[in-house]
Amino acid sequence: MFQSRIRIDGVVLSSLLSECVNGTSDQEGFLLGSKVITTKQVIDDHSDVCIEQLESFIVIHGYHFLSPYLPRPYDASGNVLPNELMNQINCLRNEEDILGYFRYRSGTAVTPSVREDLLASSLSRSIKDFACFAILTESKKPLVYGNSFGFWEIDPSQQPYSKPQRLPVDIVNRSNPNQLEYQTFLSSASHIVHGTPSMQDAIRNSLGSNGLLNQYNLLYNSALNDMKNAAHELEAKEVELASLRYELNMYREQ
């Protein structure tokens, strides 16, 4: 079994850490994303044979804090409470986005406690496609300020007896990559399109197809008339400017 890697956008990670640090209490919630398995062909200097390698990525594209108005979805021992968990999940737009769980603890070590190990194991058996558990913390050393974090892979097939393995993290920044890296590109956007009506749909529904076409023609003709009027005004200004230059030259010759 090959080890997975966490892949998260730098904007998402910094936003999550910022909200946790500025919160009134320690925060926790769900990690949203998808799990992607890619196949890569590799060739070395000692052989001409291509070897296929499988790579597993846990792509995180967002997060969702637990509702402060609902009970925690687990008890003091770390066991999931099904009803409370479902109430928290119902606050999400789509529960299929849930990929993991995170906890923020200020000024503590980046290591899951025994209760958090049990919580991760219980969540993996309660949530479909649950894959990782994250610990976030704020460093409070003298004259040093920063954030630390760690992600652990949760495999439901090996729970609750196996120890979660810490995963390497790839932080993807939105820069212009090398053109040769297009083959390894993985989108950090959600693969689920939510049914939220857009402004364009609202306009189309209110005007209808013919009304929308008439509005477009009206807007086009209005813009065209404005351009014509601006052109005529520019021509008139140029004629006036030429007249002023002629008068100025006549004044200088006198």
Residue 188 pLDDT: 55
For 112-148, write each residue's pLDDT tens digit: 888 888 888 889 888 888 889 999 988 766 656 678 8
Q: Cα 209 to the chain's mean position, in Å?
A: 34
Q: What is the mean pLDDT of residues 159-166?
A: 68
Residue 105 pLDDT: 87
DSSP secondary structure letter of residue 118: H
Query: Which pLDDT band holds residue 29 (cuts at 50, 70, 90)?
Result: very high
Contact 26, 103 (CB under 8 A): yes
Peptide bond between residue 168 and the one before it cis (omega within 30 degrees of 0): no
Q: Which of 200, 242, 190 is nearest to 31 (CA)?
A: 190
Flag whether the pTM goes above 0.85: no
Residue 74 pLDDT: 92
30 pLDDT more than 90: yes
Q: Strand order of the sheet with strand 165-166? A: 165-166, 146-153, 132-139, 98-106, 28-42, 51-65, 4-9, 169-172
What is the amino acid identity at position 52? E
For 181-230, write each residue's pLDDT tens digit: 545 555 555 544 444 444 556 655 666 656 767 777 888 888 888 888 89
Q: Which residues pair with 4 in a beta bridge?
A: 56
- Dig out the tokens for 55 from the structure: 């790579």
Residue 195 pLDDT: 45
Q: Which residues pair with 55 in a beta bridge?
A: 38
- Residue 167 to residue 7: CA distance in whole angstroms: 10
For 73-123, write each residue's pLDDT tens digit: 999 888 999 999 999 988 887 776 888 999 998 878 888 888 888 888 889
Peptide bond between residue 142 and the one before it cis (omega within 30 degrees of 0): no
